[in-house]
Each structure stands twice: as structure tokens, then as C-alpha cells.
Amino acid sequence: MRNLSWEPIEEGDAFCAPACGHGCTTKEYDIAGAKAEVLAQTLGPDWTPRVWENLGWHYAVRSPCGHLSVHPSGIGFIAFLGEPGDIGGRWAEHGNTPQEAIDATVGVAVAEYKKIGAIIKGLAED
């Protein structure tokens, strides 16, 4: 029995980690990597592509500051805003394009920030 590591092993057309067991392929890995590169280039300089395996090859990109990540989602994209290095984020919204997802996510965060500011201002006035 193989050690169940997450290090992918290449055997013929397969490129899959023993812990995954999905039967991922080199072609799927290459496609995910290419899509990640295109998404990073679309969003601008210093966006970092990331490819990982979990019952298939997946990809996302991270902003230069590390606070935003953008992932494909269905026929669109989802953006997460949070602490650098976190998986996911405190705020997340969908969009038809990567930029729409980012704008929606930042918009929700700004709206929440304004609400919190109003609450704090109200406390200071009491």
C-alpha cells in the first residue's frame, strides 16, 4: 500500500497524489496551470497563480498584497477578501468576470466597514 501523501505521482497520463485518488491527469494539471497564468496576467502584474489538487486540479490567483484571491466558480468567478495567507476570506462575492467579483467583494467589505464606523461613532456620542 502506498503512503497517502499529497505529493502527486506521474504514472503514464496520470498525475495524482495517493491521498487524492481521483485519477487526476497531467493534462488536467497543465490546463489548470495555464488557466491560472491567464487569470493572473488578466488581473495585472504580481498576481500569483496557485494550482492544487483535491479530487481534481484547481486554480486561483492571489493579489500582490495577499488580501484578495480569485477563483473560477461555475460560469463566473468568486473573489475572497481577508488576511494574507488565509484560505477563503471574511468577504466573498461572485461576478461574471474576475474584476466584477473583486469589485462586488470590496463593495460588500466597504459597506460593512461604513456600518461599523457608524456604530462606533454612535457609541462615542453616548
User: What percent of the chain clears pLDDT 70, i.e. is strictly above it?
Assistant: 97
Measured CA to CA, the distance from residue 77 to residue 36 in angstroms comes to 12
- Say whether both 8 and 48 belong to one domain: yes
Q: Which of 62, 86, 111 is the last residue of a domain?
A: 62
- Say whether both 15 and 54 belong to one domain: yes
Measured CA to CA, the distance from residue 65 to residue 35 in angstroms comes to 21
- Say whether both 116 and 101 belong to one domain: yes
- Say whether both 56 and 71 belong to one domain: no
DSSP state of 17: -
- Say whether both 110 and 56 belong to one domain: no
User: Model-level pTM?
Assistant: 0.86
Mean pLDDT along residues 40-47: 97
* Full residue range of the structural domain in which residue 41 is found: 1-62
| Strand order, beta sheet including 76-81 | 48-53, 57-62, 68-73, 76-81, 91-95
- Say whether both 53 and 68 belong to one domain: no
- Say whether both 76 and 93 belong to one domain: yes
Give residue 53's pLDDT band: very low, low, confident or very high (50, 70, 90). very high
Q: Which of 62, 94, 112 is the last residue of a domain?
A: 62
- Say whether both 46 and 97 belong to one domain: no
Give residue 109's pLDDT band: very low, low, confident or very high (50, 70, 90). very high
Q: Indicate whether 42 pLDDT > 90.
A: yes
- Say whether both 75 and 123 belong to one domain: yes
C-alpha cell at 104: 462586488
